[in-house]
Amino acid sequence: MRKAIVIGGSISGCMVAEVLSRCFNEVVLFEKDQFENTTAPRKGVPQEDHLHIVLKHGMNIIDEIFPELSRELAHQSKVDINLGEGLRWYQARRWKIPFESTLSSTLFSRVLLDKTIRKRVLNNTAVKINCYTRVNGFIITDNMVKGVKFNQHGKPHEMRCDLVVDCSGLGSKTLEWLNFHGMGEVKKSKIKKHIRYSSRIYRSEHAVPKNAVVIWDTGSNKHNVGLMFPIEDNKWIISAGGCFDNAPTTDETLYHEFLSALPVQNISNFINKSVAISPIKSFRYSGSTWVHYEKMSNFPNGLIVTGAAFCGLNPFFGQGITLCASQARVISENIKKYLDKKTDTLGIQKKMAKVTRAPWLVAEVEDFRHSRVKGKRTILTRFLMWYTEKFHIISNDNIFARELQLKLIHQMVSPYAIFTPYIFIRVLLKSYA
């Protein structure tokens, strides 16, 4: 009987548990918090109260893992927008031209997304959920992870298995546990951009705007973001984000002042005519981190590390859930080879690294625009910073560039599509204008 263990009941953990259940007789998911089919907040998901975007590429993968999940979300949320017409976007000191895009999206809260996915996992008889259980170590023999040690109801236990997948997020202890077993140091890449964002839920008593709003105010010493999105139950979520010393807090006056200081007043005006129905919640993030397990020479077989435990990206760019979905797809496509001993888990880890590189580069290029972010800006990085800045300006008025930008953001085309001759020529013309 084949058994797999998944550490963490996050969205990443749920997706991984679902794909593993197709090849394993039993998948045991360990979650330190509750895992009921409820909308109650979970202590282990501190960013749950904030706006979350699932990119089109990510939602397509989620539909592969959980068939028709996007349709179910759309039925519950009832908030669908065309990304060209229904999303007002201020960038590079201009509002982008509205147009009818080929891309549309359903908007919803993170709580609704979590609840809908957890319901699918709870209905999967091959997945056993162990709530309020804290894993505290690996069982490793001959460089092979054979199981985990854990505490449940205050008592220590052990469980043996054929595969362990760490989906425990930013709080992952895998580095510590591997070090305990003498596996050596693991290289890290880190972009130290200390960000903070604060969010609140509103309900409008007056006529509400028809569009979601993104205000992206960037420069060499600031990266301020304002977001206003409709979600289910006729509610709106307002998020304000900044970095280093220029960031919103849970103080109501400072929160309003931050939004009022944005270059356009759409969000601030909406707040003044609406009723807050939640407290202001704040979340801090120290920067993107990639733990390079794929480069370990003695990475133990039988272990996979995925999600934010492997690579956590600046949440400003909305890539996190989609990256988790891409990594879950890699596991799905390769786990049969592992069970047939045609590959090891290091091979799977390396393939997950490949789908991680492009999202990492996007975050790196944008984060390096801020003068206080430390790190080597290579010639390639500086060129991409210059080129993408010109592209952002062009996309304000050019419908072809606008559609391409949306497809790039939603990972529907290759990142290299930005260098199509049509765009390249206009970037050159813009630079000499």
CATH 3.50.50.60 fits 3-45+111-190+288-356, yes or no: yes
Q: Kindly tell me the burial class for residue 26, based on how many C-beta atoms sit within 10 Å of its own C-beta (0-12, 13-18, 19 or more).
A: middle
Q: Residue 316 corresponds to which amino acid?
A: F
Q: Which has the closest alpha carbon to 72: 123, 4, 17, 143?
A: 123
Query: What are the two backbone dihedrals, phi and then psi, of residue 321, each rounded to the nearest 5 degrees?
Result: -65, -40
Token pair 């904030």: residue: 50
How many other C-beta atoms are found inside a 10 Å radius of the C-beta of residue 42? Answer: 19
Q: Which CATH class is domain 72-108+192-285?
A: alpha beta
Q: Would you say 129 and 286 are in contact if contact means Cβ atoms under 8 Å apart?
A: no
Token pair 């690996």: residue: 138
Residue 60: per-residue pLDDT? 97
Q: Which has the closest alpha carbon to 32: 135, 184, 116?
A: 135
Tens-place pLDDT, residues 160-197: 999 999 999 999 999 999 999 998 889 999 999 999 99
Residue 45 in this model has a pLDDT that exceeds 90 = no
Q: Which two tokens stand for residue 148?
A: 């985990």
Show me where the domains of the chain are located: 3-45+111-190+288-356, 72-108+192-285, 375-431
Q: Which has the closest alpha carbon to 288: 250, 324, 322, 319?
A: 319
Query: What are the two backbone dihedrals, phi and then psi, of residue 369, each rounded to the nearest 5 degrees?
Result: -65, -25
Cα separations (Å) of 370 from 18, 49, 76? Answer: 39, 27, 39
- Strand-pairing partners, residue 305, are 166
Residue 230: per-residue pLDDT? 94
Tens-place pLDDT, residues 203-220: 987 767 779 999 998 777
Residue 41 in this model has a pLDDT that exceeds 80 = no
CB within 8 Å of 245: residues ≥ 6 apart: none
Residue 431: per-residue pLDDT? 76
Q: Do domains 3-45+111-190+288-356 and 72-108+192-285 have the same CATH topology?
A: no
User: Within the chain, how many helices (H) and strands (E) appear?
Assistant: 12, 21
Residue 429 in this model has a pLDDT that exceeds 90 = no
Average pLDDT over residues 79-89: 95
Average pLDDT over residues 304-323: 94
Residue 406 in this model has a pLDDT that exceeds 80 = yes
Q: What is the mean pLDDT of the chain?
A: 93
Q: Which has the closest alpha carbon to 374: 283, 216, 244?
A: 244
Residue 147 in this model has a pLDDT that exceeds 80 = yes
Average pLDDT over residues 86-105: 95
Q: Would you say 375 and 382 are in contact if contact means Cβ atoms under 8 Å apart?
A: no
